[in-house]
Amino acid sequence: MAKSKAKQVRVGFIGVGGVARWAHLGHLSKWEDVKLVSFCDVNKEGVEKAAAEYGAKAYTDAKAMLDHEDLDAVYVCVPPFAHADQELMVAARKKALFVEKPLSTTLEKAREIHEAVRKAKIVSAVGYNWRACEVTKKAQELIGTKPVSAAYGYWVGGMPGAAWWRQQKMSGGQLNEQTTHIVDIARYLIGGKVVKVYASGAKGIAGKRVD
């Protein structure tokens, strides 16, 4: 007797530029149990090109896509400044949700998203991919049940590439946009509740030429 084909998870994307392209679409398209159903992006030309490439339907309005497509899960891959009501709409429809970090440029919006997901009781995740790295598993093994008194981490990645990364209002700053991985992995490995946060920084480097 032939084996029955497993049900495919029907996935929609809100935002198909940058990170959706290099981190998600190519991988998901190779999984037999995933079907890329629909894509939404404010860039009409870009979303139509991506949809044609992966056999999905193109939209420029997220609400229209969520209203018209039968989806099991939705990926939200928009820049920090573009988070408006996308996650709230997905949660309201009880769909599984994956969100690329960071959630927002403001704590208020992040809390709103968190509360909507909590109330909806949906499967959800934020793209902190370092948690899945082999080195992280090894670190967990080495730490074991030993008490940790302090942790030291840093981010070295060159100057921010995307134009909006360099703008505080659009990215939330580099601690929010990139170095957030350091904070997340520290909490993941060590646990515990954050009691106090302190930071210092400098401005103007991104606008100057450094030879």
pLDDT score, position 157: 74
Asked if residue 200 belongs to a domain, the reply is no
Does 169 reside within a domain? yes
Same-domain pairing of 55 and 119: yes
CATH of the domain at 104: 3.40.50.720
* % of the chain with per-residue pLDDT over 70: 93
Taken in order 146, 189, 137, 173, the sign of the CA dihedral is negative
Rounded-to-integer distance, Cα 143 and Cα 90, Å: 37
For residues 168 and 116, what is the distance between their CA atoms, to the nearest angstrom?
A: 26
The reported pLDDT for the residue numbered 198 is 80
Chain segment 81-140, per-residue pLDDT in tens: 999 999 999 999 999 999 999 999 999 999 999 999 999 999 999 999 999 999 999 999
Give residues with Cβ within 8 angstroms of 56, minimum separation 6. 13, 36, 37, 38, 39, 50
Q: Alpha carbon of 30 to those of 34, 70, 98, 125, 158: distances in Å?
A: 8, 21, 18, 21, 32
Kindly state whether residue 145 falls inside one of the protein's structural domains: yes
| Count of domains observed in the chain | 2
For residues 10 and 17, give the distance between their C-alpha atoms in angstroms, rounded to a whole number: 20
pLDDT, average across residues 19-47: 96
Q: Is residue 205 in a domain?
A: no
Q: How far apart are CA 190 and CA 140, in angstroms?
A: 9
**pLDDT higher at 49 or 198:** 49
116 and 158, same structural domain? no
The yes-or-no verdict on residue 65 having pLDDT over 80 is yes
Predicted local distance difference test score (pLDDT) of residue 207:
60
Whether residue 210 has pLDDT greater than 50: no
* Domain-located, residue 1: no
Q: pLDDT tens for residues 130-160?
A: 999 999 999 999 999 998 888 888 888 777 7
Nearest to 159 by CA among 176, 178, 172: 178
Residue 150: its pLDDT value, please? 84
The whole-number average pLDDT for the span 59-77 is: 97
Q: Mean pLDDT over all residues of the chain?
A: 90
Indicate if 156 and 107 belong to the same structural domain: no
Query: CA 17 → CA 71, 86, 143, distances in Å?
Result: 20, 16, 38
Residue 211: predicted pLDDT: 44
**One domain, residues 46 and 147:** no
pLDDT of residue 206: 62
Closest CA to 131 of 191, 74, 211: 191
| β-bridge pairing 57-59 and 73-76 | unpaired
| Residue 149: predicted pLDDT | 84
Give the pLDDT of residue 59.
Answer: 98
Query: Which domain, by its residues, includes 156?
Result: 133-195
Distance between CA atoms of 186 and 155, rounded to whole angstroms? 13
In-domain check, residue 3: no
Mean pLDDT value across residues 13-26: 94
Q: Are residues 147 and 180 in the same domain?
A: yes
